[in-house]
Structure 1
């Protein structure tokens, strides 16, 4: 998981609290911070109604309210130095503040430093809020501060401390939800505790599903990785099936095809790779050739040929001798011999060996195009590097015999005799050609 991605997502989504908690971490400072932290009577009533537990805390006095109001005005204008100056003025009279007022002051300090992106200082002041003790903190303020500190440690990549404060928050919060488990899962993952990370992300996914919601894409992504790390390909495939269903992307099709391959589900692998191909997810030469090989292996060679042909026309597959030969092979398997020949000839011309020309000679012989067979055979011998010259001489001998070039035919077959693998067949043809030659000579007399 890319740390930049994690940090960006946190900036947008994670660093926020529920309605019942202080909202000072909202990126925009359009909401009145004093109301958000519970100063106004209307918020206090809502807070009391939302909390399962309540505490009797000291009241906010008018003198303290004025200091915070001054800081609020500066914050609304995003004049952070002025906001800090107002808070320092308030802190200078700290001995006259009660515990609740002190906590609100430190919370505002934390908010200002967060807004200035000075996260270590923000964390320090949020901790000072907790130091005021339960007797001075409304439950919502304590719970919200714990979560805020955890989130800030996450942003500063201190995952150990993030987990410490998340675990404290889990114990006291009454609104732990799927996002909470997902956040802690990411922290465990960053620390390398994959077992706990998997447990938490599974809980997050399960909670969303029970609520009838589609789990977030990045949750599935983490879940998929953690199962893959355990070599649990069955579960990886299950997660990828969810991703394909809810977040259809070509990359997920490819990954799911790979998992089906690991699970020996060849038919499913082929169908998923084809889906990836249709979705335009296969763009690299290797991917496209693998798709073609899959079609050929599944006895759908014509589809394989079309993949290669299209890839070459789009310049995604290079027109090398090997690739052209594969294209020709696919056409041959599809009984499209006329389409295979031009590709084989192109492959032969690019090859530094005569092997493909030798194959072409055999194909032309089968098509009863004897002169073309001889031409291809001649090119094959000229290039050299033929694996079975004896077989090529057999083809040349048969082509010459068909053209009634008996002397040339006999010469070809005698060369084939030198290889024991063709000796018996060559002798039979020599006998046949000699007989035909005599018959032709007698007819000519």
Structure 2
């Protein structure tokens, strides 16, 4: 396997494992109730009119005595004294037969708010539903619409996504056009995602992102996260890449650099992949062994082996990459590719000692031969044969023959070469070297006369 193939394999592993766990959904917004609950609920302090005026709907008026009772609840709520608030509501509820539909709705709205504040969400939902049960004729439009959204949000929090979607759809139908914003679509998109309806989830989150971008605003990070994940599930890598480019730009994080590098790899954009991985490395985002090795392989596969060697060497020294025979051999290979033979030799020797095979010693024998260090070449070749389990022992014998010939140890050289000749793969080369060594031996003997 070459360096580029190894890099792609590791890159794909990192990408898939990170993208599949990338959807982090924030806790949904709390119901839209301000501290002053009476004002949030649309209760007016003006009395004396037969009906409270509302833009599109007339509802019964709230009488002063009911307003005062709600004011008592308000005081307890302002102090976060929820038991006192509930006690005041129960006292008020005892006389509910005297209230009109609007007044009853406001009482139940307060119940919902108090239970929500106590994080008793299921009870809060029950009472917010009782608000709606008073009928449209008794509810200001703003109260009805706001309550629908609040119930939807509470169902989301309690992970009842079917009902969350049900009430969100009711809210979409009832809300004014200017009330429906990007957050609304994002919330419904998250609910569809949690329910497993990826098609509708993608449509809604795309709308949310598009609305923000048209206004010149930066979409929320979690929106990009959901959008990216859904496109990844569709194997639409171009879309995923586009979204990750936005994340890198607006929310620069090491994880996004890595994921974008992985997507560039999927799209065969090797140079972009390399640059993005290098950015992640410089940012300190690559900390795991596989990530650092991937970075090293990418450099080696893109004809920058010295950079690859430095990454691997640093990783080993910092104990982020294990000091194994295989990793040391990779480091040595990077130095060799960078024409740094002197730096590769110590790493190869260490790798050879740790390995249960003689192949690394055979490589060292070849390197020492190239460096004209014939005695070291013979030493390494001997260790290779002694350790055994070599892929090509015939090549070791060729190297030993050449090294001995260079030292004018012709008998030893001929013995090595004849051993190599037994393997058909080296028969031709060994025969040529035997002929050369024999002629050199004969020449030396004649000169000695």
- Do both proteins adopt the same fold according to a TM-score greater than 0.5, normalized to the shorter chain? yes
The unaligned stretches of length 5 or more in structure 2 are 1-19, 47-51
**1:2: how far off?**
8.4
| TM-score, normalised via structure 2 length | 0.90
Change (3 A) 1:4 1:367: closer
What is the match of residue 143 of structure 2?
A: 141
**1:416: how far off?**
1.6
Q: CA RMSD in A?
A: 2.0
Match of 2:99 among 97, 100, 103: 97
What is the match of residue 69 of structure 2?
A: 67
Match of 1:126 among 119, 125, 128: 128
What is the match of residue 302 of structure 2?
A: 298
Change (3 A) 1:390 1:260: same
SS at match of 2:60: coil
Say if 2:164 is the partner of 1:159. no
Say if 2:64 is the partner of 1:58. no
The number of residue pairs the alignment matches comes to 423
Say if 2:317 is the partner of 1:313. yes
**1:4: how far off?**
12
Q: In structure 2, what is the Cα distance between the partners aligned to 1:93 and 1:367? A: 103
Match of 2:433 among 424, 429, 432: 429
Say if 2:304 is the partner of 1:286. no
Q: In structure 2, what is the Cα distance between the partners aligned to 1:437 and 1:238? A: 70
Q: In structure 1, what is the Cα distance between the partners aligned to 2:141 and 2:228? A: 37
Cα deviation code 1:315-372 (max 9, x no counterpart): 1111111111111111111111111111111111111111111111111111111111
SS at match of 1:275: helix
What is the match of residue 198 of structure 2?
A: 194
What is the match of residue 115 of structure 2?
A: 113
SS at match of 1:9: coil
What is the match of residue 397 of structure 2?
A: 393
What is the match of residue 82 of structure 1?
A: 84
Q: In structure 1, what is the Cα distance between the partners aligned to 2:446 and 2:230? A: 85
Cα deviation code 1:194-251 (max 9, x no counterpart): 1111110000001111111100000000001111111111111111111111111111
Q: In structure 2, what is the Cα distance between the partners aligned to 1:356 and 1:319? A: 16
The unaligned stretches of length 5 or more in structure 1 are 18-22, 25-30, 43-47
What is the match of residue 330 of structure 1?
A: 334
Match of 2:381 among 345, 359, 377: 377
**1:444: how far off?**
2.7
Change (3 A) 1:115 1:5: farther
**1:441: how far off?**
2.6
**1:40: how far off?**
3.5
Q: 1 or 2 for the larger relative contact order (CA 8 Å, sep ≥6)?
A: 2
Say if 2:51 is the partner of 1:36. no
SS at match of 2:285: coil
| TM-score, normalised via structure 1 length | 0.91
What is the match of residue 9 of structure 1?
A: 27
Q: In structure 2, what is the Cα distance between the partners aligned to 1:435 and 1:74? A: 111
Cα deviation code 1:157-181 (max 9, x no counterpart): 1111111111111112121100000
